[in-house]
Copies of this chain bind each other. A is one copy, B any other.
Amino acid sequence: MIDVATVLFANDAFYIAFAGGDIEAMDALWADDVPVTCVHPGWNPLVGRDDVMDGWQAILSGEVSPDVRCLNAHARIFGETAVVICFESIGEAYLVATNVFVFEANTWKLAHHQAGPSQEPEQDDEDDTPPARIQ
């Protein structure tokens, strides 16, 4: 179904896979039918599914799962494309992320992710329950 709740559910699934170091779940979340891209903080962009998944493999293969949480997710839908903006707390640091989803095979799949340094959110939600709103 195409609505904000299902987009935010997919966004939550992304952060659950990220925090859990679950490369299989992460792989399943990314689109198969469109070219995908990913920009990790300070990295050059990764273009194409192989490079994007190699990047996640490198990030998620550590012994300790990333201490990442999604905060204040905010979704907009444009046709069968959705753009989510959210904060990421990673340890003591805050990032802000753009996550672009496409509706593929009746579900939302990631087509693009960019995260970069941010200030602390002005209002830091204690959970990531949708619908939350940025700031």
Contacts and interface: CB of A to CB of B under 8 A. Distances in A.
Interface of A: 34-35, 37, 39, 41-45, 47, 74, 76, 78-81, 83, 85, 96, 98, 100, 102, 111-112, 114-119, 121-122, 133-135
B98 A114 contact: yes
B80 A79 contact: yes
Nearest to A42: B117
Q: How many copies does the complex hold?
A: 2
A31 to B, nearest CB: 9
A116 B115 CA distance: 8
Contacts of A121: 44
A134 B81 contact: no
A81 B34 CA distance: 13
Contact of A83 (B43, B112, B134): B112
A46 B81 CA distance: 21
B74 A47 contact: yes
30 contacts: A34-B76, A37-B85, A37-B134, A39-B96, A39-B98, A39-B116, A42-B118, A42-B119, A44-B118, A44-B121, A44-B122, A45-B118, A45-B135, A47-B74, A47-B85, A47-B134, A47-B135, A78-B80, A78-B102, A79-B81, A83-B111, A85-B114, A96-B114, A98-B98, A98-B112, A100-B100, A114-B114, A114-B116, A115-B116, A117-B117
